[in-house]
Structures are given as C-alpha cells and as structure tokens.
Amino acid sequence: RELIRRKNAELEKTIFVTDDEIRSEFEMHQKGMPVIACARAARKDEAEELLKGLRSGKKSSAFETVGPLSYDECSEGVFKEAVAMQAGESKIVEYDGDYVVLSIVKKVKTAPSDFKASYAEIKSMLLEKKKRNATEEWIKKLKDSSDIEINIEALKGLQHGA
C-alpha cells in the first residue's frame, strides 16, 4: 500500500488536465450520458443470440440496466462505445476476452448547463481518472516484469502453524 501511495504522490506531480479536455468532457455530458442494458457472454455466438433476442423484443434476464454510465462502472473501451451510440442502438463489444451486448436505453444530461459551475468537478474527475489509469498501467507493468515463484511447501508449513 505504501508503494502505491508513493506512486500516486509522484503521479500527482506529473499528471495534468487541459482546459480543452475539460471542455470536451463537459460537452459530452451535455449531449447526454447513456443508460444501458448490458449482458456479458463468454462466447461470440452466445452474445449474438442475446443481441438477436434483444432486437426481437425478448430481452434475456442476463441483461442488467446501468446508468447514467460513468467511467467507474465499466472499462474505458466499453464506455467510449456506449457514449458514441445513440438511444435505441445495440451492438456487441469485445471486452477482456468476453463479449458485452450493449443496448442504449436512453441518454441523460448529467452536467449543469453552466461550464464554469462544473469546471472544478470535471477537472477533479479527469485527474482521478488519469491517475487511476496510470496506476493500473504501472501495476500491470510490474506484474508483467515480475518473476514470482510460489513455495508450496512453505505455504503448507504456514497453514499448519509451523
């Protein structure tokens, strides 16, 4: 935990958000954030069946309604796909080795109409998102470069109170 805390302190000195990024985020929220119905499938053919049923009016109980969607509720890729879609649209998106069937139920305006009133909140949200992404990428690189060996015998000894 201390290592991650230090990395976050380091990132706070190097990560920033531009006014253009804040304005772009504000405009996206003005257009409306999606409320989605989504279902996850392990295989593409399963996802295609879910999508076919959805489009024919027979939505499976596998679907969950979420929203208005935020960055914290799904991967960045799924989020970008959902934001780009229009109400009533449905599609399959690949995610983390699985398939997600997305259906845009509606779009909901989630920002105040005054840019200045929401500036600080949007800036803070974008900074946190960038820090989280950088931390996750750093952790992934650490894991990928690590050579971890598990000593089963030592673990068994701990388990038996040795």
54 neighbors 146 (Cβ within 8 angstroms): no
Which pLDDT belongs to residue 6? 86
Which pLDDT belongs to residue 140? 85
Residue 111 scores a pLDDT above 70: no
Mean pLDDT, residues 9-33: 86
Which pLDDT belongs to residue 18? 94
CA distance linking residue 96 with residue 6, whole number of Å: 29
